[in-house]
Structure 1
Amino acid sequence: MQKASLVLFPAGSGKSLVYQIPAFCLDGLTLVICPLLSLRLDSTLCTEEYNRIKAEILNGGIQLLFVCPERLCNESFVEMMKRVPISLLAIDEAHCISQWGQTFHPDYLKIARFAEELNVQRSAGVSRSPTYRPNLQFRIELANNFDKKLDKLVPMLRTRNGPAIIYVALQKQTHEVAEKLSKRGFTPLVYHAGLNDK
C-alpha cells in the first residue's frame, strides 16, 4: 500500500529542503513535479541536451529531477521512468491541484495514477508549520483615484523598513506607478510578463 506525506509550510520556510536533502540520501531518483518553467526537463532543450540528461537519468547520474506535470503525459518519459528506481516522488506547488484556484493544472490530477503505475513508494505523515509571518503586514486604505492612491502609498513606502512590492492590475500601470514614484524620489523597478528576458 502506498502512503503519502503532506508538508504545509508558508512561503520561504524551506519546503523544498523536505525533498532536496532526502534526494541525496536515497539510492534512487527523486522526481519532483513542479510547474515552474526554469526547473524543467522540457521541450526547450535541444536534442543533444535532452539525450545527455536522459542518459544520466538512466545510469543513475541524476539524483534529483524536476519535471512539469504535463511531462507525465509523454509516453517516452513514462517509459524511461519505468527503467529507473524512483525513491521519492515530490509534488511541489501542490496548490495547483485545487480546481477552485486560478493556478489549477489539470495534469496534476494524473500524478496519482503515474505513481501507482510505477509503484513509487511513499511514506505516511503530515507536517505543518504556522502560516503566521511577522514580517508581513496587511492594511486596506481606500482611495478614489490614482493620485490619491499614491498619496496614501508614499508615506507607507517612506516608513517601511525593508523592500516593498506594489501590485497593479494592468502591465501599463506598472510603468505609470514607477514614473510617479520616481518623481517623488524613489527608484522603483518594473516587472511584468511583457518585458523581454534581459
Structure 2
Amino acid sequence: MRINPTEFQFRHLSYRIRSAKEADAKDLSEVRLQIDGETENMDREQGEAYIDEAGFKQLIKEDTASSFNLFLVCEANGRIVGFSRCQGSQLKRFSHKVEFGVCVLKDFWGYGIGSNLLKESIKWADANKVKKITLNVLETNEKAIMLYKKYGFEKEGVLKKDKFLSDGNYYNTVLMGRVKES
C-alpha cells in the first residue's frame, strides 16, 4: 500500500516521509546494515539476516501490492535515514492487525523521525480499518516505550530473558499493542 508523502521540519532538519519504492532497495539494504551495527535495540547484530538489494526490491513490490502492508522511508539530506514497516496477514483471524517495526540511523535520532514514522503508520492503519497495531521493544529502550505509550500503545506482555546482548546479559522484550476503539 502507498501513502502521500509528508514533509517535516524539526530544528534545522527538513525531511520527508513517503512510501518505499523499488529504486530505494540498494539504499535500504545499506541503511539497515548500518543501523543494526549502531544499536542493540534491533533484533539483529550487524550482518545477520542480511537483505540485499534484490531482497528489498521484492519486499517493496509485495508491500506495495498488499493492502495489509505499509513500507515507509524517511529521506533527509538527499538520502534514506530511516524506515518503518507495518506487516499484516492474509489469514482471516489476524487480518485486523499489523506488526510495526522502525529503525533510524543514530545520527538522526532526536529529530522526531521515529515519532513521525509511527504517526504516519497509525494514520494509515486507522484509515484502512486496521484495529490493532503490535510491536516488540527491548525493555531498556525507555524512550521508545514512552513514545509508544504516548500514542496509545499498552504493555501486553513480557518475553523474559528474550535477548542476549553484547554485555553478556539477557534482557526482556516488551510486547505492546494499540487497539483502535470504534
- With structure 2 as the length reference, what TM-score do the two structures score? 0.26
Greater strand content: 2
- With structure 1 as the length reference, what TM-score do the two structures score? 0.25
